Amino acid sequence: MGFQVSVEPGRHSFQAESDETILEAALRQGLSLPYGCRNGFCGSCRGKVLTGGVEHGAAPVEVLSNADRAAGFALFCCAMARSDLRIESREVRSFEDIPIRTLPARVQRLTRAAPDVMIVELKLAANERLQFLAGQYVDILLKDGRRRAFSLANAPHADTCLQLHIRHAPGGQFTTQVFETMKERDILRLRGPLGTFILREESPKPMLLIAGGTGFAPIKAIVEHAVAETNARPMHIYWGGRQRADLYLLQLAEQWPVEHAHIRFTPVLSDATTADRWNGRRGLVHEVAMADHPDLSEHQAYVCGSPAMVAAARQDFVARCRLPAEEFFADSFEFAADTLNAMVTSPHPASRADALSLPSGS
| Among the four given CATH numbers 3.30.465.10, 3.40.50.1000, 3.30.530.20, 2.40.30.10, the one describing domain 96-194 | 2.40.30.10
Q: 145 — alpha (psi -120 to 50), left (phi > 0) or beta?
A: left
Confidence of residue 275 (pLDDT cuts 50, 70, 90): very high
3-class state of residue 28 by DSSP: helix
- The pLDDT of residue 94 is 63
Instruction: Compute the average pLDDT of residues 166-175.
Output: 89
- Provide the 8-state DSSP code for 142: P
**What is the pTM (predicted TM-score) of this model?**
0.75
Q: In 76-136, at which residue ranges do the beta strands (DSSP E only) sit?
A: 80-81, 85-88, 101-114, 117-124
CA atoms within 13 Å, Cβ hemisphere of 123:
10
- Given a cut of 80, whether residue 349 has pLDDT beyond it is no
Confidence of residue 336 (pLDDT cuts 50, 70, 90): very low
Q: Phi first, then psi: what are they for 93, rounded to 5°?
A: -115, -5
Instruction: For residue 277, count CB atoms less than 10 angstroms from its CB and return exposed for 0-12, middle for 13-18, buried for 19 or more.
Output: exposed
Q: What is the DSSP string of 310-362?
A: HHHHHHHHHHHH---GGGEEEEEB-PPPTTS------SSTTS--SS-B-TT--
State how far the Cα of 209 lies from the Cα of 217, in Å rounded to an integer. Answer: 12
- The pLDDT of residue 352 is 34
State how far the Cα of 354 lies from the Cα of 12, in Å rounded to an integer. Answer: 32
Same fold, 2-91 and 207-332: no
| Among the four given CATH numbers 3.30.1120.10, 3.40.640.10, 3.30.479.30, 3.10.20.30, the one describing domain 2-91 | 3.10.20.30
Q: What is the pLDDT of residues 281-335, one digit of tens each?
A: 999 999 999 999 999 999 999 999 888 888 899 899 999 999 998 999 988 765 5
3-class state of residue 29 by DSSP: coil
Q: Phi first, then psi: what are they for 218, rounded to 5°?
A: -70, -30
Q: What is the pLDDT of residues 138-153, one digit of tens each?
A: 999 998 888 898 999 9
Confidence of residue 37 (pLDDT cuts 50, 70, 90): low
The CATH number of domain 207-332 is 2.60.40.790: no
Residue boundaries of the structural domains of the chain: 2-91, 96-194, 207-332
What is the chain's mean pLDDT, rounded? Answer: 86
Q: What is the pLDDT of residues 109-130, one digit of tens each?
A: 999 999 999 999 999 998 788 9
Distance set, CA 158 to CA 28, 152, 319 (Å): 8, 11, 38
3-class state of residue 229 by DSSP: coil
Strands 147-151 and 73-75, bridge-based pairing: unpaired
- The pLDDT of residue 344 is 32
Percent of the chain with pLDDT over 90: 61
Instruction: Compute the average pLDDT of residues 103-110.
Output: 96
